[in-house]
Structure 1
Amino acid sequence: MHPILFYGVPSGCSFGSIVALEWLGAPYRLSRIEMPEVVTGDAYRRINPVGETPTLMDENGQLISESLAILNHIGARGIDKKLGFAQGSRDFDRLNQMLAYLNTSFFGAFAPLWYALEHGADGADKTALTRYGAAEVVNVHAELEAMLGESPWLLGEHKTLADAYFIGIARWTKYHAVLDRRDYPKLQRLYDRLEADPAVKFAHAIEKQVQPVGSGGFMGHVSLDEALRLLPAAR
């Protein structure tokens, strides 16, 4: 059995895991999970009790949730491509540091804005959430701009899983117009470089349900019902 990535639409952070799988190039399948309807339903909660994407079902039917864990799982299989690094090495620590920052500070900065948008906040509540979220998004962009320095990629001369995760979140400014990324020219160059990457174009095509052109690892979609039948009997 090939691994199956359960990815959320529209515009889930699972986008980064699709990019990472394309960079890895090994066989995998995808399962499309609509948000919020399907992701919070009883059927999907058999896959992920928290009701969130992404989740990865490995070749043995075992489940891994949370982007950080999934990306490290992929990275361990892509050390030869410098997507990940050997545990205990300095590069492994640097990658985890950057992934943790993206998973907490960068991702979290958008949380107040998403809440205001998705939960119908209005009046003073919406104003407060939007003001706070906007300030946080501006702050994390400034911090990442400083971290990037003159490097072409987040960790230096080679793209890694951190860049895959970054692009899936950075695109959220199209929903929340709280800054102009051109004010952060180094991040804008990274964003443009990633948007031109074939794996990122592939992930966009997958989300839009148009014919993707991939690396050859993608083996097609699996419905949620089909995936549930692949769970070990003990679950």
Structure 2
Amino acid sequence: MQPILFYGVPEGCSFGSIVALEWLGIPYRLCRIAMPEVVQSEAYRRINPVGETPALLTGSGAVLTESMAILNHLGSQGIAQGLAFAQGSSGFDRLNAMLAFLNTSFFNAFSPLWHTLEHPGEGNAALVAYGRSLVAKAHAELEAMLDGKDWLLGDRPTLADAYFAGIARWTDVHPVVDRRTYPCLQRLFQRLQDDPAVRFAYAVEHEQSARSAGGFVGHVDLTDVLRLPPA
């Protein structure tokens, strides 16, 4: 069975997993999950009881949740391409550390801002100020890590850059910092915008005509996935 990625719209962090699958070039399908209505539904909770995206139904029929787990699972198939590294190697440790930073400090910096967007009119000025400070701090830290590098880990893209692509665009939704004031980060972001896999992921999210540069073989509905026999 081809793996199925459940990706959240709009603006889900699952964007990075779509980019990763495209870079790997393996056959896969996508299942579109609207947030918050479908992602919190009883039907989707049969896939992920936490009610979050992404989730990955693997080729063996197992379900993986959480971006780090999914990217590390996919990474085992991208070692030869330099997208990931063998567990126990220094490259794996550096990749895991970068993914952890993106998943905690960089991702979570936006959490107060997402809350204010989803719960307007609750006197959220303090939360916005707090979110702005967190986002600025995370951007400054990532800017320092990128100094002198073309990509997050050096001279070639890895799955960390795929994950970054999905989160860095959130400043377009929450304009609390100007990405251009972080030149290394801005250069990386712009480089990724020219990547066919990133352009494909954007088109898929916005239901535009999209040409896969990888192994995408089509969408599948959640109801159809739930009819599949258990592994």
Q: Which TM class, normalised by the smaller chain length?
A: over 0.9
Matches of residues 130-169 of structure 1 in structure 2 within 5 Å? Answer: 130-169=128-167
Deviation of 1:175 (Å): 1.0
SS in 1 for 2:218: strand
Check whether the contact 1:62–1:231 (CA below 8 A) recurs between aligned residues.
Answer: no
- Structure 1, unpaired ranges of 5+: none
CA distance in 2, matches of 1:70, 1:205: 22
Matches of residues 68-217 of structure 1 in structure 2 within 5 Å? Answer: 68-123=68-123, 126-217=124-215
Q: CA, structure 1 residues 49+80, in 2 after alignment: closer, same or farther (shift >3 Å)?
A: same
Partner of 2:40: 40
Deviation of 1:121 (Å): 4.3
Check whether the contact 2:44–2:51 (CA below 8 A) recurs between aligned residues.
Answer: yes
> Aligned letter for 1:195?
Q
Identity level (%): 65
Check whether the contact 2:24–2:214 (CA below 8 A) recurs between aligned residues.
Answer: no
Deviation of 1:217 (Å): 0.1
Q: CA, structure 1 residues 78+192, in 2 after alignment: closer, same or farther (shift >3 Å)?
A: same
CA distance in 1, matches of 2:43, 2:110: 28
Check whether the contact 1:3–1:59 (CA below 8 A) recurs between aligned residues.
Answer: yes
2:17 pairs with 1:17: yes
Deviation of 1:231 (Å): 4.7
CA distance in 2, matches of 1:121, 1:156: 44
Check whether the contact 2:5–2:55 (CA below 8 A) recurs between aligned residues.
Answer: yes
Q: CA, structure 1 residues 182+49, in 2 after alignment: closer, same or farther (shift >3 Å)?
A: same
Check whether the contact 1:3–1:56 (CA below 8 A) recurs between aligned residues.
Answer: yes
CA distance in 1, matches of 2:36, 2:74: 26
TM-score by length of 2: 0.98
CA distance in 2, matches of 1:231, 1:53: 22
Q: CA, structure 1 residues 116+150, in 2 after alignment: closer, same or farther (shift >3 Å)?
A: same
CA distance in 2, matches of 1:136, 1:45: 31
After superposition, the C-alpha distances for 1:70-129 in whole angstroms (9 at most, x for unaligned) are 000110011011111000000000000000000000000000011011012433xx1100
After superposition, the C-alpha distances for 1:157-189 in whole angstroms (9 at most, x for unaligned) are 110010000010000001111111110001000
> Aligned letter for 1:217?
G
SS in 2 for 1:80: coil
> Aligned letter for 2:181?
D
TM-score by length of 1: 0.97
Check whether the contact 1:115–1:121 (CA below 8 A) recurs between aligned residues.
Answer: no
CA distance in 1, matches of 2:213, 2:178: 32
Deviation of 1:214 (Å): 1.2
> Aligned letter for 1:226?
D
Q: CA, structure 1 residues 190+24, in 2 after alignment: closer, same or farther (shift >3 Å)?
A: same
Q: CA, structure 1 residues 226+180, in 2 after alignment: closer, same or farther (shift >3 Å)?
A: same
Q: CA, structure 1 residues 109+121, in 2 after alignment: closer, same or farther (shift >3 Å)?
A: farther
